[in-house]
């Protein structure tokens, strides 16, 4: 039994949610998102909340129950408040700067890396060693942050590279005499 799936997803004020078969469409102050649920779960709008229930008691239906509820919750939160992901850059000479809408990264390569963000994702650099990514779609936001981090992952000896702000790098000791 899904403990997450049992809870109905309340629709926040200022957001309208509509259900058309297996598709949930949420419109809010930040924009519009939609999610198409699997046929193994059913969606209903009751008392200004979206209720997700499995169609039957099969293992497949129960495994998609909690995930579908979380996806609906994510789109409702995204159109109301949006999401923010922060990255930090550590290393001598490593820095980031905005070049129009694109992100320019100096990460110790012979050339600067230029990242072109997808539509709906905004990137800002308040400091040369900090990158702030904002958007309404949680999945796309995480993918963008992962792609930027993949250019130079943090290494375990000095911690140089691009890391998530909340990430903790496990350090290694290094050589001994």
- For 25-66, the pLDDT digits (tens) are 999 999 999 999 999 999 999 889 999 999 998 888 888 999
In this predicted structure, what is the pLDDT of residue 6? Answer: 87
Domains of the chain plus CATH, in order, are: 3-80 (3.90.930.12), 83-164 (3.90.930.12)
pLDDT in tens, 66-76: 999 999 999 99
Mean pLDDT, rounded, for 156-163: 93
Confidence band of 105 (pLDDT split at 50, 70, 90): very high
* For residues 113-130, average pLDDT: 94
CB 90 within 8 A of CB 154: yes
Give the pLDDT confidence of 78-103 residue by residue, as tens digits.
Answer: 999 999 999 999 999 999 999 999 99
pLDDT bucket at 2, cuts 50 / 70 / 90: low
Query: Does this model's pTM top 0.85?
Result: yes
Q: Contact 165/149 with Cβ under 8 angstroms?
A: no
Say if residue 107's pLDDT is above 70.
yes
């Amino acid at each position: 039994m899904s403990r997450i799936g049992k809870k109905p997803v309340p629709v926040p004020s200022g957001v309208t949610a509509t259900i058309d078969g297996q598709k949930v469409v949420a419109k809010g102050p930040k924009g519009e998102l939609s999610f198409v649920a699997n046929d193994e779960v059913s969606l209903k709008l009751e008392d200004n909340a979206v209720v997700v229930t499995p169609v039957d008691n099969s293992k497949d239906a129960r495994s998609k129950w909690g995930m579908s509820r979380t996806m609906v919750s994510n789109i409702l939160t995204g159109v109301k408040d949006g999401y923010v992901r922060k990255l930090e850059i550590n290393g001598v000479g490593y820095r980031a700067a905005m070049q129009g809408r694109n992100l320019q990264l100096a990460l110790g390569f012979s050339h600067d890396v230029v990242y072109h963000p997808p539509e709906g994702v905004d990137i800002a650099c308040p400091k040369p060693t900090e990158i702030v990514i904002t958007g309404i779609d949680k999945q796309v936001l995480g993918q963008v942050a992962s792609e930027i981090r993949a250019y130079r992952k943090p290494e375990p000896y000095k911690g140089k590279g691009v890391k998530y702000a909340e990430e903790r790098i496990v350090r290694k000791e290094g050589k001994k005499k």
